Amino acid sequence: MNDIPNEHRPELPFNTLPPAVVALALVLGGIEALFQIGSYGIIGGPDAVGWRLVAMEDYGFFDTVFEAMRTQGTWPFEHVIRFLSYGFVHYSLTHALMAIVFILALGKMVGETFGNVAVFVIFFASTLFGALIYGLVLNTAQPLLGAYPAAYGFIGAYTFILWLGLGRMQENRMRAFTLIGLLMGLQLVFGLLFGGSSDWVAKLAGFVAGFGTAALLVPGAMGRIMARLRRR
């Protein structure tokens, strides 16, 4: 039996992904898998059918809860954790799968550039900031759910990478914002045609958080940005 040389062996998809990105995808996918299996009554008994709804109520980010905490000046942990926990609960299988695809594709580029720790930092910073802006800007009873603000955070980090690269090549830096412009434009069109939620506020906030966090992670980047602003 002849062994296949290492250089000719096909690489598994996960082998090319940063471990942090794989970990996030597995956690998100695992939670969704539990909801799916439970909905068919395979595990958890009769109560498992309602696991998703219970998780949405217990871990989703609600503006009404946020406003109540602000008004009363009390911040119970079980509600503060919603600023992060909402990112792990989705409305449906499709909702979850789309978020995971975004995170795998864009998290790969971010992880390869900044490293595994940065992947987690950007994920949670974008999730947190997305919920904060969602709660401050909107007055809605609709809960914020899903990892989309985090996914847009990776878009923001990737945009920063492009922004720096275009600057080094003395090209128009605004081209770096093509992807976010396209996505926000599509969101607007679909919202006008079919109606939509206001979660675009959290997504855009996640993008800003990802861009800003990436700037902080690049050595000397903030100094160059400030110097450029002073020259204007």
Q: Is residue 200, in this structure, part of any structural domain at all?
A: yes
For 145-155, write each residue's pLDDT tens digit.
Answer: 999 999 999 99
Q: Is residue 4, in this structure, part of any structural domain at all?
A: no
Q: Is residue 123, in this structure, part of any structural domain at all?
A: yes
% pLDDT > 70, the chain: 88
- Residue 189 confidence (pLDDT): 76
**Reported confidence tier of residue 42, pLDDT bands at 50, 70, 90:** confident
**Reported confidence tier of residue 130, pLDDT bands at 50, 70, 90:** very high
Higher pLDDT among residues 66 and 11, named by residue: 66
Q: Is residue 1, in this structure, part of any structural domain at all?
A: no
Higher pLDDT among residues 13 and 76, named by residue: 76
- Quote the Cα angle for 159-104-10, to 5°: 120
- 120 Cα distance to chain centroid: 10
Q: Is residue 103, in this structure, part of any structural domain at all?
A: yes
Instruction: Look up the CATH number of the domain holding residue 192.
Output: 1.20.1540
**Reported confidence tier of residue 186, pLDDT bands at 50, 70, 90:** confident
Q: Region 116-140: what's the mean pLDDT? A: 96
Provide the mean pLDDT of the chain. 87
Q: Is residue 6, in this structure, part of any structural domain at all?
A: no
What domain count does the chain have? 1
Range(s) of the domain holding residue 125:
17-231
Question: Whole-angstrom Cα distance, residue 148 to residue 103?
Answer: 9
**Reported confidence tier of residue 169, pLDDT bands at 50, 70, 90:** confident
- Is the confidence at residue 190, as pLDDT, over 80? no
- Residue 177 confidence (pLDDT): 84
% pLDDT > 90, the chain: 59
Question: Whole-angstrom Cα distance, residue 171 to residue 163?
Answer: 9
Q: Is residue 10, in this structure, part of any structural domain at all?
A: no
Question: Whole-angstrom Cα distance, residue 107 to residue 29?
Answer: 15
What does pTM read for this prediction?
Answer: 0.85
Q: Do 52 and 35 meet the contact criterion of CB atoms below 8 Å apart?
A: yes
- Is the confidence at residue 128, as pLDDT, over 60? yes
Q: Among 26, 20, 34, 47, which residue's Cα sits nearest to residue 93?
A: 34
